[in-house]
Amino acid sequence: MHPAKSVILFTTASGAGYGLLIWLALFSATGTIAPDRGFGFAAFVLSLGLVTGGLLSSTLHLGHPERAWRAMSQWRTSWLSREGVAALLTYAPALLFAAAWVLFGTNSGIAAFLGLIAAAMALVTIYCTAMIYASLRTVHAWHNIWTRIGYMTYGLMTGAALMALTGSLWGVARLDSLLGAAIVTTALGYMVKWRYWRFIDGTSSASTAETATRLKGDVRLLEAPHTEANYLMTEMGFQIARDHSAKLRRATLVFCFAVPFVAFLLAYAAGPVLAAILTLLGTLSMAAGILVERWLFFAEAKHVVMLYYGEKTA
């Protein structure tokens, strides 16, 4: 599938923003973080800014962005519509949670309850985003449980990194807990990505040229259906060279998982200044790595329609 820059930006930015919101709610509910107003303001601006920016960027992929609001009317049958509705519903408890923290200096009691509601809605939104792709039976690389697990995990992972970074820059107490969450989710993210790659490398779609045409025997393309590339061939038939894919996979492992894991681990035992530097390094590396990871997520996927253009399997 052809990787669209707007969709890559949307899924990575909004996922990180929702992940940060989830960790803010969880650490507040457990009393891990004191309601420091400066830290709260920075964290909520970063979280809601990424969510809003990601949602707005997603409209750029539409033919008529001005009609994006109409997509939410199909929530009964469309995961894209459900995602839009869930995203809007998340704003209300999130903004009230932010107001209680920043304006009134509290993140416990009713404020913590509002935070947990916002966190639950954030998880629902991430899940809906994952299901936009996981529900497509025509794309084997997406129609599996690892797509759903991956989106949820990477949202929590990138959110934890942002939480640790913001906490280290503001010098909040219990930074060890924030870094611990970043370390654990980064390790979990690596395991999920490894299992996802094992799945798409070791399995293939049940659809073949034979099942697509309902012909028996060895079905081969006699003549191309088009003399020039068309929309389907450009968008659905995007191909990435095997060696290029391998290089990008290694880059993902290094920048998205290995460097952040080591940086967060070292920051866990370092002093405040060094911890802030290491956390910043790890977060920037993860940001670059997650963009490569998401580009590969689209580039390595094959649509069954390409069976009609000479592909043997999907």
* Phi, psi for residue 313 in degrees, rounded to 5: -135, 160
Give pLDDT, residue 233: 63
- The second-level CATH assignment, the architecture, of 5-309 is Up-down Bundle (1.20)
Give pLDDT, residue 5: 84
188 neighbors 182 (Cβ within 8 angstroms): no
Give pLDDT, residue 160: 98
- Determine the angle formed by the axes of helices 145-170 and 37-58, rounding to 10 degrees: 140
- The Cα–Cα gap between 91 and 81 comes to 16
Give pLDDT, residue 112: 97
Please tell me what DSSP assigns to residue 306. Answer: G
Give pLDDT, residue 224: 65
Give pLDDT, residue 216: 76
Token reading at 182 = 């970043």
Look at the pTM and tell me if it is higher than 0.75: yes
Is residue 128 exposed (0-12), middle (13-18) or buried (19+ Cβ within 10 Å)? buried
Give pLDDT, residue 191: 98
Give pLDDT, residue 228: 67
Give pLDDT, residue 57: 82
- The Cα–Cα gap between 236 and 244 comes to 19
> How does pLDDT run along the chain (314 residues), one tens digit per residue?
677 788 898 899 999 999 999 999 999 999 999 999 999 999 999 999 999 998 888 777 666 666 666 667 777 888 989 999 999 999 999 999 999 999 999 999 999 999 999 999 999 999 999 999 999 988 889 999 999 999 999 999 999 999 999 999 998 888 999 999 999 999 999 999 999 999 999 987 777 766 666 777 776 766 666 666 665 666 666 777 678 899 999 999 999 999 999 999 999 999 999 999 999 999 999 999 999 999 999 999 887 777 666 666 66
Give pLDDT, residue 173: 80
DSSP state letters, 272-289: HHHHHHHHHHHHHHHHHH
- The Cα–Cα gap between 87 and 95 comes to 13
Give pLDDT, residue 69: 66
Give pLDDT, residue 2: 73
- The Cα–Cα gap between 252 and 291 comes to 9
Q: What's the full length of the chain, in residues?
A: 314
- The Cα–Cα gap between 87 and 89 comes to 6
- The Cα–Cα gap between 305 and 314 comes to 8
Radius of gyration of the chain (CA): 21
- The Cα–Cα gap between 57 and 153 comes to 22
Give pLDDT, residue 239: 73
Question: Which residues make beta-bridge pairs with 139?
Answer: 303
- The Cα–Cα gap between 152 and 129 comes to 9
